[in-house]
Structure formats: structure tokens, C-alpha cells
Amino acid sequence: MDLGLSGKSVIVTGGGSNIGRAIALGFAREGANVTVAELDARQGEAVVQEAQKLGSGKAAVVATDVTDFAQVQKLVDTVVAQHGGVDVLVNSVGWDQLMYFTQTTPEFWEKIVRLNYFSVLNCTRAVLDPMIKAGHGAIVSLSSDASRQGEPREAVYGGIKAGINAFMKTIARENGRYGIRCNAVCPGVTVPTDKAEVGAHSMWVRKESMFTDEQLEKVAKALPLRRIGRPQDVANAVLFLASDAVAGYITGQVLSVSGGYSMIG
């Protein structure tokens, strides 16, 4: 099925690693003009080179700290100048360390809030003006099933991701009149398949600090689909929601992509 994404101008934040990487390459396969907003410019450039091999209309990396609004605005201005606008924004930047709440510190809370929430606020605000002017757009923000279930060792992260769910619903209500659709995707445990998929700033740099192989086996056995999620699983859902051709009447939704970990009707 043609998703109608060929030639679309797409920004993927955190597009250098894991889920973000898979999303950027997914848009490339569809012929979109992909801009990877990435703090790790070297990792982002590697993704861009791969995207170009897959048939992307145009692909580029813009080194961006998405917690800094000035840098985000410069990113969006650059994309508008090059491609005439922004058709799709994917807020994919995310970071966490698994710790019980009593083990965390205010400094940790601040880092988690800035990386996971301020990044979404900054990027969403920056793209809304050109999207409103154009009369269309799609914004997909990566949340987490930790926002829906409550997950030990992810208290702050899960709380912030729940905030993203509510934020995206509100932005959907405020901007639907302008033809802008806004949705959230909630991955479960999603593990990169190769070290080449992980950038220097990724929380998966040291996989063992997240999950041991034994723990991952236990997670897989507990899921209805009996397997751990892979980046492409999430990317498929994001491309679906970004497509006006197949999801043009879907907005304000929170979709779990977690092998059945959460089942919320």
C-alpha cells in the first residue's frame, strides 16, 4: 500500500539510534525527504548515508540539542527553507536509567524532564507555525507503555510519558481545525538488534545497564506475542500514523506497540 509519504518533509528527532533510526530509515524507504535531528552528528550522518541508499528523496542531519529551543527553531527554519515546510514531525528523543524512585536525585529528575518532555514541547511549538500556515501536518510523539501501566524503576520517566500522552491529545484538539493530526506511540521494551544502531548518547550504549539477557527472556515469555520488540515494530506504527493516506482520520490517539504488554480499550 502506498502511504503517500514520497516527497514529504519529515523531521525525526533522535534519528541516529534504535527506534529513531528505524523511523528515519522507514521514511527513507517511502521516498520522503528526511531530516535527522541528532545531538550525535556522527551517528546521524551514518543514518543519512544509509537513508540515501534506500531511496530517500533527500536526507540530511542537523546537529541539534532538542532541549534548547533556539537550536530547535533554527532546525525548523532550515528545513522550511530547504523543503518548503514540515509535513511530519516525529518526536523520538528519549532517555532513561532504570532506578527505583528512592535511588534518584533532583538532578536526575531534571535531566529526564528536559530530555523527554521539554524536547517534545520545543519541537512541537517550532513546527506548529509552518504547519498551521500550510494547513496540514502530522506530529507523532514517542511515549512509553510505562505511561499506561506504571512500571517499577521508571517512576519519573513513566510520569513524563503520561504527560506527553495528555499533551498530544490537547495539541490535537487545538490544531485539528488547521488539518494537523497529533498522536502518540507507546513502545514496550524495544531492543536494538546491533551495536551499529546505537549512538554515543543512547541509553542502550550499555545494554546490560538496562536489562540482562535473562531478564529479556523473562519479559518475552510474559508477553502475549512471546517476543521482545524491535525498532522496526515501532517504526511501522509511526509511519502509519504519519500517513494522511491511511490514517488521515486518526488524531489524539495513544497506540501501544508492546506485544500486548498493555491492552487498554
User: Catalytic residues, which ones?
Assistant: 157
Q: What is the DSSP string of 179-219?
A: TEEEEEEEE-SB--SSGGG--TT-TTTTGGGT--HHHHHHH
Would you call 70 helix, strand, or coil by DSSP?
Answer: helix
With a CB cutoff of 8 Å and minimum separation 6, the contacts of 228 are 189, 190, 191, 216, 219, 220, 259
Length of the chain: 265
SS3 31: coil
89, β-bridge pairs: 11, 139
Helix, strand, or coil (residue 14) = coil
Q: Are 24 and 34 in contact (CB under 8 A)?
A: yes
Nearest to 9 by CA among 54, 59, 63: 59
d(CA 208, CA 187): 19
Strand order in the sheet with 58-63: 58-63, 33-38, 9-13, 88-91, 137-142, 180-187, 254-257
